[in-house]
Chain A
């Protein structure tokens, strides 16, 4: 699987937007970009995924660069419950096994 690079940690204030970056310069044309998050004492939770176009769902938005070498997960209004580790993952090939790095630990201040 192609590798992703994320900052170790980021901080935000409650009710402000948060932009979590992910670099994936070796992405192939058929790789989907997936995001998961892991709240304390819980398993990872699927957030969103995309291929080329920007995507929105009830949890977040995903902005994908035109060259697809980077993407950004956008939380429009951070809440204390959004404090978690966020993982950016590439789905490659026909067999999709999420391969996790260390992710970005998001700290949300009240």
Chain B
């Protein structure tokens, strides 16, 4: 049973460009959350998608946007990239009834902005 799959694993972009990261949730999960993890820090919550809508959002600017598809997969888009956006981007999936038991995380996409 595949867990959470993220693509690509690594990415290098130039300041000002736009990037799209992709996530396929674990089988049976319908909720997807995105996190940003800077080096040496814990993951910071960006937003969560359920039923193709953004359900909750953390303290991130509008440059960060997302989408969830009918098959529950999700994309994270970041516009006008800044050097400070360089980080590991993590996707986590869950089901509403199983949220209390824990989230399943992917291995992340390492984004480097130069």
Please give the residue numbers on chain A whose beta carbons come within 8 Å of chain B beta carbons, in ascending order: 32, 34, 36, 41-46, 49, 85, 87, 91, 95-103
Contacts and interface: CB of A to CB of B under 8 A. Distances in A.
B104 interface: yes
B101 A43 contact: no
A41 B108 CA distance: 8
Given A43-B105, A97-B48, A102 B41 contact: yes
A85 B107 CA distance: 15
**Interface majority SS (helix, strand, loop, mixed), chain B:** mixed
A99 B100 contact: no
B21 interface: no
A46 B107 contact: no
Given A97-B56, A100-B43, A43 B100 contact: no
9 contacts: A36-B102, A42-B105, A43-B90, A44-B90, A45-B105, A46-B102, A49-B101, A85-B42, A98-B43
Contacts of B48: 97
B106 interface: yes
Interface string B39-65: 011111100100000001000000000
A32 B42 CA distance: 20
